[in-house]
Amino acid sequence: MRLPFRRSPVNFGGTPAETELRDGWTVVLRYRDEDDHPGPWLVDLSHRRRWDFQNRHLAAQTPMDLPVPSEYGQVGIHGPLVINRMNRTQVAIWHLGRGPSPPTPQATSFTETTDGHCMLAFAGPGVPQVLEHLTPLDLFDPARAPPPGGKKQTERHALPREGTWGGGGGL
């Protein structure tokens, strides 16, 4: 089976030193001269698989065997998968772990959104200082309440390593 050709909507303009083909995406693993940059780094995760799951009885569901966070804006991290409670009827699920991503479930409540938008991450030293210029929210305060309202077009999360964090939310 021939994989579809996919291209990230992001181009950093650097010269790739190492790339890898993943599910039709050419993924840059390392840029030439990146060791000369102390960070933080902007990382293109557009190739990572993402899904929306919608159900009017969302609280009683376990999409992809993941517990649905109880409040809007909460984020759960379960191994390689992240689940984000968007609103009363919808969660976003992201595969951010190593190894192959799970297949898209056949249930009609799932929509694969990987090709629908880009996904970026900040990594390395200085991330809080960069993010404080992008939003007035303190994304590193685990006690922060989720924002009011429903789904936002831009999601920004500071994620711990495991468990559920009550600080998620969009801008």
- Structural domains in the chain? 1-44+118-145 (no CATH), 47-117 (3.30.70)
Taking residues 44-51, report their average pLDDT: 93
User: Model confidence at 65, in pLDDT bands (50, 70, 90)?
Assistant: very high
User: Model confidence at 145, in pLDDT bands (50, 70, 90)?
Assistant: low
Taking residues 92-99, report their average pLDDT: 91
The average confidence (pLDDT) of the chain is: 81
Taking residues 43-48, report their average pLDDT: 91
Distance CA 18, CA 32 (A): 8
Of 95-99, 133-137, 139-143, the range with the lowest mean pLDDT is 139-143
pLDDT at 3: 62
User: Model confidence at 10, in pLDDT bands (50, 70, 90)?
Assistant: confident
- The DSSP code sequence of 87-142 is SSSEEEEEE-SSSPPPPPPSSTTEEE-GGGS--EEEESTTHHHHHTTT-SS-TT-T
- pLDDT > 90? residue 95: yes
Higher pLDDT, 60 or 156: 60
pLDDT at 160: 47
pLDDT at 109: 95
pLDDT at 46: 92
Q: Are 101 and 49 in contact (CB under 8 A)?
A: yes
Cis peptide bond upstream of 136, omega within 30:
no
pLDDT at 138: 76
pLDDT at 165: 38
pLDDT at 82: 93
